[in-house]
């Protein structure tokens, strides 16, 4: 399967993308983009394709994808129920020039490096982040940035990835 490039359009009023999809069927083709991505499946099941890996996914699935990593989710439509996911996407510039090189950010830098092949987030880390991702949608813009930075802290200190 050949991946297609997807150009993400970040809004001028936001430094990252946070959106929820409620659709009968996830319809994004096998694609890649230079942004990092965290995807939480709220409803639905099927197969997820990340790089060369194919795995089943179910509601509650939470994955983090590195930049330029080809991916897609394929599900069968459910009768009278949409599939649903929350997707967070951000580019390298989200953290600002030079911030990633600060001593306090070394664990985050290592975590982002590890994400090149993508990974599933499990256990208590998944439970904590799931709650925070759902709540993030209702926050102010500045609270959303602080929330995403908190996600980096949680993920970079977790052993459940």
Average pLDDT of the segment spanning 84-96: 90
| Cα 22 from Cα 3, distance rounded (Å) | 23
- Which pLDDT score, from 0 to 100, does residue 78 have? 79
Strands (E), the chain: 4-5, 16-23, 31-32, 36-43, 46-50, 53-57, 62-65, 71-75, 83-90, 119-120
pLDDT at 147 over 70: yes
Which stretch of 8-17, 51-60, 107-116, 149-158 has the lowest confidence by average pLDDT? 8-17
Distance CA 120, CA 57 (A): 10
| Global confidence as pTM | 0.94
- Least confident window among 77-81, 105-109, 137-141, 144-148: 77-81
Asked if the model's pLDDT at residue 112 lies above 90, the reply is yes
At 52 the pLDDT is 93
Q: Given a cut of 70, is residue 10 above it in pLDDT?
A: no
pLDDT confidence band for 85 (50 / 70 / 90): very high
* Average pLDDT score over residue span 104-129: 95
- The token pair that represents 96 in the structure block: 């600002």
Alpha-carbon span 21 to 86, nearest angstrom: 6
Chain mean position to CA 71: 11
């Amino acid at each position: 399967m050949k991946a297609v490039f997807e150009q993400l359009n970040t809004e001028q009023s936001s430094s990252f993308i946070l959106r929820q999809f409620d659709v009968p069927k996830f319809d994004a083709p096998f694609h890649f983009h230079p942004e990092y991505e965290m995807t939480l499946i709220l409803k639905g099941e099927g197969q997820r394709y990340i790089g060369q890996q194919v795995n089943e996914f179910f509601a509650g699935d939470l994955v983090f994808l590195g930049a330029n990593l080809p991916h897609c989710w394929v599900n069968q439509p459910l009768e009278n129920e949409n599939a649903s996911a929350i997707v967070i996407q951000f580019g390298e510039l989200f953290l600002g020039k030079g911030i990633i090189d600060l001593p306090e950010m070394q664990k985050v830098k290592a975590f982002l490096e590890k994400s090149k092949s993508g990974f599933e987030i499990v256990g208590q880390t998944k439970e904590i982040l799931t709650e925070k991702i759902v709540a993030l949608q209702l926050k102010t813009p500045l609270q959303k940035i602080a929330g995403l930075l908190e996600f980096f802290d949680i993920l970079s200190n977790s052993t459940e990835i």
